[in-house]
Amino acid sequence: MISIARILKTGLLTSYLFVVTACTKNIHITNSAGSICSFTFPKEAKITKVAQDDPSRDWLISFQENKKIFISTNDVSGSPLNRYKQEEYGENIVVKMVANDSLILYGRNSSGNWKEIKQDGIVYGYMNIPDNEVLKFEKLIIPICNH
């Protein structure tokens, strides 16, 4: 068994941490409580920051076969990247987004499963996910927030 002191002395921990962080991509956002929340994705994910006219920030994380995750600071109307919520719930869904501090919307259409979560000033979710990959994407959209 190797002691922590030996790991630090030999630099093994530094090498290990480099390998772990090189295999992922991260997005960091400050939530409404002032905590920094991190979302971590596999290195093959393509992250695109979407420019908006309003002060909100939006990211689209793309995977193979048109599977997508979105993250937004637009907690008033939700992510503009998820068009499925309005198809499912109608135009009045914006009223629900404004009226609730936390909200979970979900559905299924011909493109697959989708979900949008509004929590602590951040909106995030996924789109176009087949049934057999929902659990994997549920785990990917869970932010880790410092308190």
Supply 137's token pair.
């994407």
Maximum distance among all Cα pairs of the chain, rounded to whole angstroms: 60
Q: Residue holding tokens 């990917």?
A: 140
pLDDT in tens, 51-103: 766 666 889 999 999 999 999 887 766 666 777 777 776 666 766 666 677 88
**What is the β-pairing status of strands 58-62 and 24-30?**
unpaired
For the entire predicted model, the pTM comes to 0.76
- Show me where the domains of the chain are located: 28-145
Q: What is the pLDDT of residue 37?
A: 95
Q: What is the pLDDT of residue 98?
A: 66
Residue 64 CA to residue 86 CA, distance in Å, equals 25
Greater model confidence, 135 or 103 = 135
Residue 77 CA to residue 96 CA, distance in Å, equals 8
Displacement of CA 133 from its chain's centroid (Å): 15
